[in-house]
Amino acid sequence: MTRPLAIALDFGGTKVEAALVDDHGTVIAASRHRRPTGPTATSDELEQAVSEVVLAARAAIPDGTPFVGTGIGSAGPIAVADGTVSPLNVPAWRDYPLASLIAALVPDAPVVLRIDGVCIALAEHWIGAGRGAHNLLGMIVSTGVGGGLVLGDRTVPSPTGNAGHIGHIEVAGFDDPCACGGRGCLEAVASGPRTVAWARARGFEGTTGEDLAAAHAAGDPVALAAVERAGTAIGRAAASASSLLDLDVVAIGGGFSRVSPALFEHARAALAERVVFGFVTRTRIEPSALSDEGPLVGAAALVHRPELVS
């Protein structure tokens, strides 16, 4: 192998993963390693988990292969100016210097840290549903609702590094309390758990997104209504974001985005209601074209494609 390689690191609230990724965005499967993280891990345990996966990936670089550096995507909030992270669901790390830890493990090459949502958007732009788009919102609908932005073929400039929180755009007509302190945020309405809870309050007996998907496929009226509600909210948030940002594409991934193709139909229908603004209704809402490798691909783009990174 002679293609240039990057180490990609994806640090999240349940696991940390690292792998080698080449300059076409291909993840080298044998180099991919993961460890659990989670709300009860100590800082030492987190450091050890990160170190193990990064060093295992580094050890997989063949002799003589060009190495371009390490890209890190982290759950937020982060502080990009000093390379620290304070992931909401990982309380042991507050203002933790993750970029410095990695620089000590993998010296003499660039280390670039960005929030995980930015990495998703970069991956969609590089090899996913946003190829050829200039203005792109990458959205993840899962336990929460997150995202990231590429505008003018570059990640959006962000003084703190936390731009892209599409989950905290408000949606008209809703008033659900949100973990951020606000009300009616998209995440409080359309995340997987919130959608399941809404259905359960109306008699649905399942407990997971998979249960809701099965009920939807079987035509259960409460499941149909729950998916319509979530999809409509997603489409309205996309319409708000596109009104502000003139988006070409909204690429949506994450486990709950696969509950049913109807989720996308409802989202597109909601966007289409903004009939007066052709620059909004032109926005394409598409399923993510990335596998579960997306976060690693995007982290690798931070160092393979520096011209895309603000």
Question: How many residues lie near a copy of itself (CB under 8 A)?
Answer: 56
Closest CA relative to residue 38, chosen from 102, 91, 1? 91
Q: Looking at beta carbons only, is 5 or 178 nearer to a copy of itself?
A: 178
The DSSP H or E segment spanning 68 is: strand 67-74
* Minimum CB–partner distance for residue 159 and a copy of itself (Å): 5
Strand, helix or coil at 146?
strand
DSSP state of 64: T
Q: Looking at beta carbons only, is 33 or 236 nearer to a copy of itself?
A: 236
- Spell out, one character per residue from 61 to 90, where the chain touches a copy of itself: x when CB under 8 A holds, - when not: ----------------x----------x--
Q: Which of residues 145-184 bind a copy of itself (CB under 8 A)?
A: 149, 151-154, 156-175, 179-184
274 binds a copy of itself (CB under 8 A): yes
Q: Looking at beta carbons only, is 22 or 176 nearer to a copy of itself?
A: 176
Q: Which of residues 230-259 bind a copy of itself (CB under 8 A)?
A: 236-237, 239-241, 243-246, 248
Residue 115, Cβ neighbours under 10 Å: how many? 29
Residue 15, Cβ neighbours under 10 Å: how many? 14
Residue 238, Cβ neighbours under 10 Å: how many? 27
Q: Which of residues 109-128 bind a copy of itself (CB under 8 A)?
A: none
Dihedral (C-alpha) 228, 234, 235, 241: value to the nearest 10 degrees?
170
236's tokens: 């309205």
Interface contacts to a copy of itself, rule CB under 8 A: 77, 88, 134-135, 149, 151-154, 156-175, 179-185, 236-237, 239-241, 243-246, 248, 273-280, 282, 310
